[in-house]
Structure 1
């Protein structure tokens, strides 16, 4: 009888412990890449997240992108809306992205009171060097007119990249 009681209590304990959820992840990374836009001569980080649990109203995602140029990280604060199932985080324009170098991004999901709900860390790696981009946009204006600073009146073109990047 005593043995039966111990086995039953153990089985109930195992079943109940299986019902408890570990710390729930509210978002997960579904993709990350560098976006090189030749037309406007820009490069940005793009991080995609998928909502995997209920996020409290008023929550904010704080992403700290490593600055390829050096110095302080590039910080993005973005409100999360209840209707959002997918969340896209895009950094400001970057300079000095290097091919095959890892760049770290730290992400915090914070509720309206400032309590950290979840932290994520991921790395970006580009298969292109930013030197492939021109320093100046190829087009300007609403009609995508050729940029006269790139396409000279004499017929020559200047696609050079003049970014001053650390070695």
Structure 2
């Protein structure tokens, strides 16, 4: 009888431990790319995430994008709202993006008390060098007027890229 009771207790313990949920992912990466905007002469990282579980109110996403110039990462803190099913994270403007170079991004989902709920990493690669962009925006102002620094009064144009990038 005692042996039967011990075996039953052990079986119940194993069954209950199997019912515990594994740590679930609250977000997953659905896309990542470089956005080259020729009109305003800018390049940015764009990372999209999808919610896959309930995220506590007051949570933020902290993304650390590798800086193509080198040095400290570019850090983005973005609040997550309960209504958002999709989350788009866009970096500040970049300089010196190189074709086929891997750039890492570390993402942390943090609750309002600073507890890390999830971490993930991904990698970006561009199929273009940033040298395809001009150094100056092609247009200025709300009416998209031609930029006089690019489109000269004498009819010449200057699409050159003057970024000084490490090799």
TM-score relative to the length of structure 1: 0.92
Structure 1 position 20, deviation (Å): 1.9
C-alpha distance in 1 between matches for 2:29 and 2:7: 42
Secondary structure of the 1:154 match is coil
Structure 1 position 2, deviation (Å): 10
The number of residue pairs the alignment matches comes to: 167
Structure 1 position 6, deviation (Å): 9.0
More deviation in 19-28 or 59-68? Answer: 19-28
C-alpha distance in 2 between matches for 1:105 and 1:9: 47
Give matches, 1:81-160, under 5 Å: 81-160=81-160
C-alpha distance in 2 between matches for 1:160 and 1:2: 86
Structure 1 position 17, deviation (Å): 4.0
Structure 1 position 52, deviation (Å): 0.6
C-alpha distance in 2 between matches for 1:94 and 1:145: 24
C-alpha distance in 2 between matches for 1:100 and 1:3: 65
C-alpha distance in 1 between matches for 2:8 and 2:32: 48
CA RMSD, Structure 1 to Structure 2 (Å):
1.9
Structure 1 position 133, deviation (Å): 0.2
C-alpha distance in 2 between matches for 1:114 and 1:17: 29
Structure 1 position 16, deviation (Å): 3.7
TM-score relative to the length of structure 2: 0.92
Structure 1 position 19, deviation (Å): 2.6
Structure 1 position 5, deviation (Å): 8.4
C-alpha distance in 2 between matches for 1:82 and 1:111: 13
> How far does the alpha carbon of each residue in 1:18-38 deviate from its partner, in whole angstroms, 9 at most, with x for none?
432111111110100000000
> How far does the alpha carbon of each residue in 1:8-61 deviate from its partner, in whole angstroms, 9 at most, with x for none?
777756654443211111111010000000000000000000011111110010
Unaligned runs of 5+ in 2: none
Secondary structure of the 1:142 match is coil
Unaligned runs of 5+ in 1: none
Structure 1 position 113, deviation (Å): 0.6
> How far does the alpha carbon of each residue in 1:90-121 deviate from its partner, in whole angstroms, 9 at most, with x for none?
00000000000000000011111111111011
- Runs of 4 or more, structure 1, over 6 Å off, are 1-11
Secondary structure of the 2:49 match is strand
